[in-house]
Amino acid sequence: MILRNAIHTAALLAGCLFVSAAQAGDFEISGYGGWQSAPHSHVDVSDQPGFGAGWEGKSFASPPYWGIRGTYWFDGGALSNLGISLDYTHDKVYADDETMAKAGWSHFEFTDGLNILTLNALYRFPLQDLPITPYVGAGVGINVPHVEVTRPSGKTFDYQFGGATIQAQAGVSYRFTDNWSAFLEYKGTYNWIDVDIDSNASLKTDIITHAVNFGVSYKF
């Protein structure tokens, strides 16, 4: 029920973005990939001692790291450099071998993926007579990880609502036609994850991701 409501909310937000874009005509859609990593985090499990987890991103291994976003830039006046975006990212993390040995597990990852959906506020800094535009942004949203845990007591392999996410980004775009541009950016997220695993146990951890993205955008 929680996941269904979250999906409905995301769909409504996406619809609002497209309606706004249709009214003002300043909407762009972007796709991106790149390199994503995650530092260590502490994992709490309700039926065994907690442990520290080392994470690997494996950005270019299947399924790869990628994302897509829709952005609406306000048109004219004091709001002309402000924007809002709905951003979906297929982040992912794999526990390293040392983590598995400490936990006594044979499989532990959030891949396919650590799916993140955020609503963001953006601000851009146009440079006069130049096609380069720096920008920054921040937002809030949800994460829906594909939970993959195999341990002596059983196996978990499903999508679950993980919890809240906050996001920050900074980058620069280069417009090479009226409609097409490319961008390079840093994006970081903080994800609160609380999910169920086998034997009616729960698993909690906070995962931070760091990513360097390269993408292209098309403005309608």
Distance of CA 36 to CAs 32, 44, 83, 187, Å? 12, 24, 25, 9
103 contacts 51 by C-beta, under 8 angstroms:
yes
Q: Are strands 163-175 and 154-159 parallel, antiparallel or unpaired?
A: unpaired
- Note the pLDDT of residue 13: 52
Query: Can you read off the two tokens belonging to residue 31?
Result: 């796709």
Neighbours of 115 (CB within 10 A): 19
- Candidates 140, 23, 117; CA nearest to 72 is 23
Distance of CA 103 to CAs 57, 81, 98, 149, Å? 19, 49, 9, 11
Q: How many CA atoms lie within 13 A of 39 on its CB side?
A: 6
139 contacts 167 by C-beta, under 8 angstroms:
yes
| Distance of alpha carbon 200 from the chain centroid | 28
The DSSP secondary structure of 102-143, one letter per residue, reads: HHT-SEEEEEEEEEEEEEEEEEE-PPTT-SEEEEEEEEEEEE
- Note the pLDDT of residue 21: 45
- Note the pLDDT of residue 99: 97
- CA–CA dist 153, 175 (Å, integer): 54
- Note the pLDDT of residue 12: 52
- Note the pLDDT of residue 1: 47
- Note the pLDDT of residue 18: 47
- Rounded mean pLDDT for each run of 10 residues along the chain, 220 residues in total: 47 50 70 98 96 96 96 84 97 96 96 96 92 97 98 97 98 95 98 97 98 96
Distance of CA 5 to CAs 8, 71, 165, 174, 220, Å? 5, 23, 16, 37, 30
- Note the pLDDT of residue 64: 96
Please identify which residue in the block is written with the tokens 């999906």. 7
- Note the pLDDT of residue 3: 45
Tell me the Ramachandran region of residue 129: left when phi exceeds 0, alpha when psi lies from -120 to 50, beta otherwise: left
Question: Could you tell me the domains of the chain?
Answer: 2-219 (2.40.160.20)
